[in-house]
A and B are shown apart, each in its own frame.
Chain A
């Protein structure tokens, strides 16, 4: 049976009035991307690299739309300078980060970025909420969306591999 938390995130994105969803695919976001793609009220945009989404969603907000960025932890490093846009202009950002390299990782190349994702985001001025348990996701995404859009802040929710599951390369 597929996990229920992606659908809970989707519901929270709808509740928050998210109209534009930008993503670089990650297996952890597979179900959420599918739900967003199937929703006519959300414009989904597949990116070539994550910082495109930071800029695009800043534009979305300037134009009156709220957006969400879906990415893998490895893509956070791509975003660092673009996040100066949110920091300097106090433009909201809601980023949902599917973690790799953080909990029982098989691929050592993921560990460097995965172990520094939260600190890298914080150094770039982004507030970070971690989620280690599926039962916390709904309320955490809701709180992150409120902080982002009610207080005009950049906020990231890091969804742990404890929730997503650790990728199995030997299946």
Chain B
């Protein structure tokens, strides 16, 4: 995928629009979100039982994605998380790169800030390049996206293609409407397993 527009010519993407565009092609793919805004963005794009939203367990989203991907090698698994959550799990990028699950994609919605705690600058806003870290770890495909056109390409790669992938979508810190997904843990896990495994979910 080619990055078509130089970074300095971009206006920052709206996170809600970006995630909705990313998920437009989604069918029955499995989605795990990191806590906070990425969970709300995914919920706003359409709640389904095959969304598993973390409301805590910060740093766990990518590894949850790995566990699901290894259990379900024929299903595409997408992790949608934030820059702060991903920064807490840089070691997980090394672990995942060692395993190289072909059905896992990780997308970081990167506003370069801790949005839930007072908009403090995160490391990604201080020059740390998450896609470069993933590339150095061994992710075969890594991207940093800044335009809507690029998101269409990314969606194609995730939902029509295969292969381990790590992408950062740079977004603004502009406020977005409140959209809170369910947060009851047993409900979230049971509906996910039932939708995925059918009656075996209760074995």
B188 at the interface (CB under 8 A from A): yes
Q: A45 and B68: CB pair below 8 A?
A: no
Q: B95 and A47: CB pair below 8 A?
A: yes
Contact of B71 among A55, A59, A89 (CB under 8 A): A59
- Identify whether the interface residues of B are mostly helix, strand, loop, or mixed: helix
Contact of A55 among B67, B189, B201 (CB under 8 A): B67
Interface string of A48-73 (1 = CB under 8 A from B): 11011111111111111101000000
Distance in angstroms from B117 CB to nearest chain A CB is 15
Q: B63 and A52: CB pair below 8 A?
A: yes
Q: B67 and A60: CB pair below 8 A?
A: yes
Known interface pairs A64-B193, A64-B197. Does A20 touch B67 (Cβ–Cβ under 8 Å)? yes
Q: B66 and A63: CB pair below 8 A?
A: no
B91 at the interface (CB under 8 A from A): yes
Contact of A56 among B56, B67, B94, B189 (CB under 8 A): B67
Q: A57 and B189: CB pair below 8 A?
A: no
Partner-binding segment picked from A26-34, A77-85, A99-107, A113-121: A77-85
Q: How many residues of A contact B (CB 8 A)?
A: 32
CA distance A7 to B38 in the complex (A): 44
B126 at the interface (CB under 8 A from A): no
Q: How many residues of B contact A (CB 8 A)?
A: 39
Q: A89 and B63: CB pair below 8 A?
A: no
CA distance A56 to B196 in the complex (A): 17
CA distance A48 to B98 in the complex (A): 11
Q: B67 and A57: CB pair below 8 A?
A: yes
A153 at the interface (CB under 8 A from B): no
CA distance A51 to B59 in the complex (A): 9
Q: B59 and A63: CB pair below 8 A?
A: no
A9 at the interface (CB under 8 A from B): no
B188 contacts across to A, CB distance below 8 A: 89
Distance in angstroms from B200 CB to nearest chain A CB is 7
Q: Which of B175-200 contact A (CB under 8 A)?
A: 185-186, 188-189, 192-193, 196-197, 200
B62 contacts across to A, CB distance below 8 A: 55
